[in-house]
Amino acid sequence: MCTIKARLDKVLTRIRQAEIQFERAPNSVKLLAVSKTKPLSEIQAAINCGQLEFGENYLQDALSKIKALNHNKVKWHFIGHVQSNKARQVAENFSWVHTVDSIKLARRLSRFVADGKPALNVCIQINISNEKNKSGCNIESALELAQEIEKLENLNLRGLMAIPMPETDFAAQRSVFRDLNSIYQDFKAKGIKLDTLSIGMSADLEAAIAEGATIVRVGTDIFGPRS
């Protein structure tokens, strides 16, 4: 699909230009293509263009795609809320989980990583905007959660993730991402080994890169609006 290639190229150009503009190291920001609700044909088109990391929110939809594509080079990231009773399927089928927000969930994920499999890469989701109806732990409890996750042998704590309230003003976008980066840097100063900031989407990826994003999660600008 030529449209997928053109959109991917445009998004990657935006990322690389932002790296230059904000004095980030070349290729230091990874693109995660958010493929939730999108058909196999479009995901395959993205794979054919060299995109090998995909984010999914809905477990059953994701599992059918993972099985159908059966591509050993593709890495699947779970970026939706993980229900406790679905932790086993998430741990068994994904390389990353970006939305760990409690020690209970972390322990369940760790328990279900199969023997002999690599540790599951995880990010702590922080409710950076303190929204009542949004998942994520609060800022005050995040450090303790990070310290507890580091004790779990089957999880590899990689970083922090957030989905802030939408802002159209670039300075406002940067401000909230700066707050999360400050937490990230504070955790590292306290000895938590982190290398990942999962922030930024189609509308605000430049602001996220300006404030330290290492993964941007882009769906609409690759696959078009949700149908």
Query: DSSP label at 203?
Result: T
Domains annotated for the chain, with CATH where assigned, are 2-19+29-222 (3.20.20.10)
Greatest extent of the chain over all pairs of C-alpha atoms, in Å = 47
Phi, psi of 202 (to 5 degrees): -55, -45
Q: What is the pLDDT of residues 128-156, one digit of tens each?
A: 888 777 889 999 999 999 999 999 999 99
Q: What is the pLDDT of residues 47-56, one digit of tens each?
A: 999 999 999 9
Q: What per-residue confidence (pLDDT) applies to 196? A: 98
